[in-house]
A = this chain, B = another copy of it.
Amino acid sequence: MTEQVLKLGIPAGSLQKATVELFGKAGFHILDSDRSYVPRIDDEEIRLIMLRAQEMSRYVEDGVLDAGITGHDWITENTSDVVEVCELAYSKATNKPARWVLAVPDESKVRKPEDLAGGIVATELVNVTKAYFAARKVDVKVEFSWGATEVKARLVDAIVELTETGTSLRANNLRVIDTVVSSTTRFIANKQAWQDRFKREKIENISILLNAAINAMSKVGLKMNVRKSGLDSVLKVLPAEKSPTVSSLADSDYVAIEVIIDDKIERSLVPALKRAGASGIITYPLNKVIH
């Protein structure tokens, strides 16, 4: 009988804290992730290991792991043959995709990739960068960089580096020439594990719960009381695609309305609802939202 355990890799480093928090919101509590590369989790059917995002897809492809979380960039860099279960739209600071950009010092004469012909480019993402220049038929030497790549922009001719907000590039007085590749976080599975009934169901359940928690992060519950006579004008203010829950109240002149909204629109919606006659407006946090 096959052991009923899913070997799951989670990313060490910059996504580590956000990942542990996301699992917590999804209902899986991870312990000791600050001290151990094999943190405990309160689900006996999962065995966790923390690895760098860079090498995750290779271990999933080899079957050393059944599933893992990593970036699209590194799956491509490693040319790993794995199942992409879903995208996971959580991240360090913003929800924009991270970009690997070709950058040069502000004072460089380089304006376009072609200007780098014959030069040296330093990057952690060697294969993707080579493919990028090959596609443009530009002959450059691509060198592997062991971190702190920005500082090398003034040693070599250009760098290809990851940026989410551009802060680090600006602090190093670097100028972006082009985006080499964009990337978001992915939940991936080993191809054989995906054929195993237990493992696939486990992976899918984790996927549903992680996504329900991700949805809930940017949403709030909103409740208010509305006089029946004013119901239409209130409903018009609400986003069209939402179907609010309208409950009967003891006072039959009023109904209670409850709806889940994006926290982004809460900023403009709440004042509008008040003007439309709603009373007792509150918003409350959510743990999970399942569409």
A residues with CB within 8 A of B: 12, 26-28, 31-32, 36-38, 40, 42-43, 49-52, 54-55, 58-59, 62, 64-65, 93-94, 120, 143-148, 151-152, 155-156, 165, 167, 171, 205, 208-209, 212, 216, 220-221, 225, 243, 245-251, 255-256, 260, 263-264, 266-268, 270-271, 274, 280-290
Determine whether the beta carbon of A283 is less than 8 Å from that of B274: no
Determine whether the beta carbon of A249 is less than 8 Å from that of B250: no
Determine whether the beta carbon of A155 is less than 8 Å from that of B247: no
Number of copies: 6
Contacts of A246 in B (CB 8 A): 249-251
Determine whether the beta carbon of A27 is less than 8 Å from that of B216: no
Determine whether the beta carbon of B285 is less than 8 Å from that of A285: yes
Determine whether the beta carbon of B271 is less than 8 Å from that of A31: no
Determine whether the beta carbon of B55 is less than 8 Å from that of A145: yes
Determine whether the beta carbon of B12 is less than 8 Å from that of A155: no
Determine whether the beta carbon of B286 is less than 8 Å from that of A94: no
| Nearest CB of chain B from residue A285's CB, rounded to whole Å | 6
Query: What are 17 A-B pairs with beta-carbon distances under 8 A?
Result: A26-B267, A27-B266, A32-B93, A37-B148, A38-B151, A49-B155, A51-B148, A54-B146, A55-B145, A65-B155, A205-B268, A216-B283, A243-B280, A247-B247, A281-B290, A282-B287, A283-B286
Contacts of A205 in B (CB 8 A): 267-268, 271
